[in-house]
Structure 1
Amino acid sequence: MEGHVPPNGVGETNNSEEHERIVILDAGSQYGKVIDRKVRELNIHSEILPLNTPASDIKDRGFSCIIISGGPSSVHDDNAPAYDGEMFNIGLPVLGICYGMQMMNVKFGGEVKCGVADREDGQFSIDMDTSSELFKGLSDKEEVLLTHGDSVIRIPEGFKATAHSGSTIAAIEHSGKKLFGVQFHPEVDLTVNGMTILRNFLYTITGLKGTYKLKSREEQCIKYIKETVKNSKVLMLLSGGVDSTVCAALLHKALPDDQVIAIHIDNGFMRKQESMNVEKHLNDLGLKVKAISAAQQFYTATTCVPVNGDHPNKLKRKTQMLNSITDPEEKRRIIGDTFMMIANDVIEELELSPKEVILGQGTLRPDLIESASSLASKAADAIKTHHNDTELVRELRNQGRVVEPLTEFHKDEVRELGRSLGLPEDVVERHPFPGPGLAIRVLCAEQPYKEKMFSEISSLLKVAADYSNSLNKEARVSQKHLELLKRVLSESDLEKLKSITSSISLQCTLLPIRSVGVQGDGRTYSYVAALSSSSSPDNHWEDLFLLAKLIPRLSHLVNRVCWVFGKRVEYPVTDITPTYLTNGVLTQLREADSIAYKVLKETGTIRSLSQMPVISIPIHFDRAPDQHMPSCQRSIVIRTFLTSDFMTGVPALPGKQLALDVISSMVKKMQSVAGVSRVLYDMTAKPPGTTEWE
């Protein structure tokens, strides 16, 4: 366990209501804490325990039912998470989610097949049997989040299938034993009526009444801070974002002013004029902040990373300087460790004893989940290392020298807490900006990434983008790829693909770069596909978004799909512009980012989006092979994102969720920035693509 953590911060039941308790068994899902949150929102107390918790303990502790989370493992893995199968025989209703459903299916004699072609990562429409108690009150077709590689292909005796995604089984149940399994995630917002499903399981099937009441989270945060800090000083690192600002406001409310040392570190990766504005803004709020300019220190920083894996006893090696690094995880670790080193320098300058200083951080649930911290899960896969959860931070936690009052919160909950603390709306609604800043919005690379079937995937995507013409008998296309399309996609999807490619002439270009994604509850680092056309996309965005869902199903080595503004991309992209975190690269991205946010502010549309990272990628389009023009420009990607919990989300649909003229203005102005080849629009949901590209 990584040190002391705050209580759930969401209240407790009266003694007379102790039976209103359920257990969530953690199989390593990215969304395990989201299940906990949604159950509590339904006024039912929940506890998260390891998947291998003995069934006798579950029964003895008086839980009313069991929910088994999803997870990144396969039930066929040699090291698949252990569990006590007796949990299914102690008379409690069980809901298995994703991996939990597959585990239940195998336990009772069903069959799960690994890595089948119909892998799904994203929001899809499934067919439901609404006679099932679990799906009472729903439609026979529902939008849900599916993210899985393995699939149930045979269900056990006594069970029946109650939902399907095409030919794939999406839900099973044994109503007599009150055992239910869903392949999708009812706990996330991308499952539109997921709360109804959870309510049906907890209220109708289990018979709970929802007597659990929420206490004041602010009061519990204040209590936790006082108990943790006592008489120590708190060194609070402030980025100016809502998380760190709310954390600082809580610290100032809980502690005397002389106990809180607030600093803002300009790491050289801030937005245009951001540090100056952050310092002024925070001081205006009464949070006395000392600003430290440390750009050069970050640019030339190094750290030590494990040679193989993340075990603390493994051999370590020293990295190159940050301005020479291309690996996204190494970039994140160097930046996180450098923050800690500068914090130590501040402690030394103030002549304080390190043992008397506690680090204050605005760490949220999603940060810990994505970093695979044991505070969030014992079995989760690491998606990306957050700067507030590096190895150095974990060591401080183990020493009891970190205070993090928000680790049980999601972004929307932090915003509500900020409002209750009296923070201005422009602070509360500020778009998230990661601690590493623009450093993780520059895709650094030395060489093009053209491994793992690059040519094969390129050919397949070209057939898909021209599917309607590929059906003509005279067309010269790969029959192998055409058959693969027909095998992977349902008849309904094929009809949609035919309709889309009939209405707009598309080109699909596989880019020799990688972005970070999350598929099947695990981290992926995969290719980016780029769609383009000589026709305007303005009347086709819904079709293009559907195509962006289908492409990762066709190739699981693609986790992100973008639209390229401008003319059709005629030439394949076979190389990249060598890119590092240098001043010229950062200046270009800063200017593009500044343009994008200026357009949002001027048009009054900034609050229509949850977040909008602007990304630099090392791609120089429009170079004819016979001209031998070197790759020297970069392209800019607009990554809009709509979400409430920041664990899942979707891009804004142009023309509906973001005005076409707003996007057009952004693109036109960004295109004028020196050295920009093209501007792209990220059409990928999360999953399969993460919010950030790194």
Structure 2
Amino acid sequence: MTTSPEEKRKIIGDTFVKIANEVIGEMNLKPEEVFLAQGTLRPDLIESASLVASGKAELIKTHHNDTELIRKLREEGKVIEPLKDFHKDEVRVLGRELGLPEELVSRHPFPGPGLAIRVICAEEPYICKDFPETNNILKIVADFSASVKKPHTLLQRVKACTTEEDQEKLMQITSLHSLNAFLLPIKTVGVQGDCRSYSYVCGISSKDEPDWESLIFLARLIPRMCHNINRVVYIFGPPVKEPPTDVTPTFLTTGVLSTLRQADFEAQNILRESGYAGKISQMPVILTPLHFDRDPLQKQPSCQRSVVIRTFITSDFMTGIPATPGNEIPVEVIYVFLLMCIFSTSFIL
């Protein structure tokens, strides 16, 4: 019933070892003669701040194959990790050298026990004292061409942390497109600089067709301006008139995990059938506790969830860029994802 991502990761990792030990007992094996073979990669160790990788690494997120219990087994010489010095791209090179089939070599990484991490759990909304002010900054950014005509203290803050070139681009975007930007009452794990961050998500919606070049510009600009935001998402459908200020209580229950499994299965099938699976490095599917498009007058409770599709291109699986609809992935494929999303009222990219 925990909602902390890091606590979830440790519980999943410890459960992984606990079940392995149960199986060892059921098979009547001697624990001292058993070795654990893992497909641990270099990024797993770096992100888990393992001393095996570096004595200076910042903890980003604990992987289930590098918890304290695993580290204890590793110190005892009971863990075999032949790939621990390699990144995913290097492992693919090794796979091809070994003559493995391409469909295995280029297959998208699947999180295994980590699938549970792709559920953003929440019992109550994440709204701190900086929520209203940050929301006002986002309103100025989303309607910059009109905001510059009205003197406002926060407008000066926006100008102070943007270049003239940024401001010209904002003027151009907001003159051509009707955008709405706002904070979502959840927080997600991300990396800002080389450090872990656990911060707000900014949502953008529009009554116009999405202009992806403009959206990617905003996705890079907004976290640079507002350091309490580490992720920007686009919300499909009609413009969000009433941004959610509460959440659907969400924990790692059987029903919630089944929803995510089904969403992930459908989305990956669509990507494969489109023929673009090889162009996208990875496409995590995430379940969030957000219920959009409720009538505020009826005061409906938050009871649905939203599916996030994150299309990602990378060579080393440590750094990368979003796959832009219309460039790296056809817009038509995105809309098939949208039709697939029968699980909730919302679809986010």
1:299 maps to none
Give the alignment partner of residue 523 of structure 1, picking from 196, 199, 203.
Answer: 196
1:394 maps to 71
2:230 maps to 559
CA contact (8 A) 1:332 1:436 kept: no
Root-mean-square deviation (Å): 1.1
Is residue 2:14 matched to residue 1:341? no
Taking structure 1 as the reference length, what is the TM-score of the superposition?
0.50
Taking structure 2 as the reference length, what is the TM-score of the superposition?
0.98
What per-residue deviation string (whole Å, max 9, x for no partner) do you get for residues 312-344 of structure 1?
xxxxxxxxxxxx121111111111111111111
State the distance in 2 between where 1:591 and 1:397 align.
35
Is residue 2:154 matched to residue 1:486? no
Task: Report the Cα offset of residue 465 of structure 1.
Answer: 0.4
State the distance in 2 between where 1:329 and 1:661 align.
36
Task: Report the Cα offset of residue 677 of structure 1.
Answer: 2.0
State the distance in 2 between where 1:645 and 1:497 align.
32
1:60 maps to none
Aligned with 2:116: secondary structure? helix
State the distance in 2 between where 1:438 and 1:528 align.
20
Q: Residues 376-525 of structure 1 correspond to what in structure 2 (within 5 A)?
A: 376-472=53-149, 475=150, 479-525=152-198
Instruction: State percent identity of aligned pairs.
Output: 58
Task: Report the Cα offset of residue 563 of structure 1.
Answer: 0.4
Higher mean displacement: 593-602 or 627-636 = 593-602
State the distance in 2 between where 1:535 and 1:427 align.
40
Q: Residues 209-608 of structure 1 correspond to what in structure 2 (within 5 A)?
A: 324-472=1-149, 475=150, 479-537=152-210, 540-608=211-279
CA contact (8 A) 1:577 1:633 kept: yes
State the distance in 2 between where 1:405 and 1:452 align.
48
2:346 maps to 678
State the distance in 1 between where 2:140 and 2:180 align.
9
1:647 maps to 318
Which consecutive residues of structure 2, in runs of 5 or more, have no partner in the other structure?
A: none
Which consecutive residues of structure 1, in runs of 5 or more, have no partner in the other structure?
A: 1-323, 682-694
Is residue 2:282 matched to residue 1:611? yes
1:58 maps to none
Task: Report the Cα offset of residue 581 of structure 1.
Answer: 1.1
Higher mean displacement: 483-492 or 347-356 = 347-356
State the distance in 2 between where 1:346 and 1:665 align.
42
State the distance in 2 between where 1:587 and 1:435 align.
14
Aligned with 1:362: secondary structure? coil
What per-residue deviation string (whole Å, max 9, x for no partner) do you get for residues 332-374 of structure 1?
1111111111111222222222111111111111000000000
Aligned with 1:608: secondary structure? coil
Aligned with 1:334: secondary structure? helix
The size of the alignment, in residue pairs, is: 349
The structure having more radius of gyration, on CA atoms, is 1
Aligned with 2:187: secondary structure? strand
| Paired letter, 1:599 | I
State the distance in 1 between where 2:40 and 2:127 align.
36
What per-residue deviation string (whole Å, max 9, x for no partner) do you get for residues 89-123 of structure 1?
xxxxxxxxxxxxxxxxxxxxxxxxxxxxxxxxxxx
Aligned with 1:345: secondary structure? helix
Aligned with 2:35: secondary structure? strand
Aligned with 2:322: secondary structure? coil
Aligned with 2:336: secondary structure? helix
State the distance in 1 between where 2:114 and 2:39 align.
16
- Which structure is higher in strand share? 1
State the distance in 2 between where 1:390 and 1:435 align.
16
| Paired letter, 1:454 | F
The structure, 1 or 2, with the larger RCO (C-alpha pairs under 8 Å, 6+ apart) is: 2
CA contact (8 A) 1:515 1:525 kept: yes
State the distance in 1 between where 2:196 and 2:288 align.
20
CA contact (8 A) 1:509 1:569 kept: no
Task: Report the Cα offset of residue 423 of structure 1.
Answer: 1.7
What per-residue deviation string (whole Å, max 9, x for no partner) do you get for residues 198-253 of structure 1?
xxxxxxxxxxxxxxxxxxxxxxxxxxxxxxxxxxxxxxxxxxxxxxxxxxxxxxxx
Aligned with 1:607: secondary structure? coil
State the distance in 1 between where 2:81 and 2:265 align.
31
| Paired letter, 1:488 | C
Task: Report the Cα offset of residue 660 of structure 1.
Answer: 0.5
State the distance in 2 between where 1:491 and 1:361 align.
51
Task: Report the Cα offset of residue 492 of structure 1.
Answer: 0.6
Aligned with 1:528: secondary structure? strand
Is residue 2:335 matched to residue 1:664? yes
State the distance in 2 between where 1:603 and 1:336 align.
35
State the distance in 1 between where 2:240 and 2:57 align.
39
State the distance in 2 between where 1:371 and 1:431 align.
21
| Paired letter, 1:407 | K
State the distance in 2 between where 1:602 and 1:522 align.
37
| Paired letter, 1:559 | N
| Paired letter, 1:532 | S
Q: Residues 186-201 of structure 1 correspond to what in structure 2 (within 5 A)?
A: none
CA contact (8 A) 1:534 1:568 kept: yes
What per-residue deviation string (whole Å, max 9, x for no partner) do you get for residues 570-594 of structure 1?
0121100000111221222222222
CA contact (8 A) 1:511 1:530 kept: yes
State the distance in 1 between where 2:223 and 2:232 align.
8
What per-residue deviation string (whole Å, max 9, x for no partner) do you get for residues 406-442 of structure 1?
1110001101111222221111111111232421111
Task: Report the Cα offset of residue 486 of structure 1.
Answer: 0.7
| Paired letter, 1:393 | I
What per-residue deviation string (whole Å, max 9, x for no partner) do you get for residues 467-503 of structure 1?
011122xx4x6x1110011100010111111111111
| Paired letter, 2:347 | V
2:291 maps to 620
Task: Report the Cα offset of residue 452 of structure 1.
Answer: 4.5
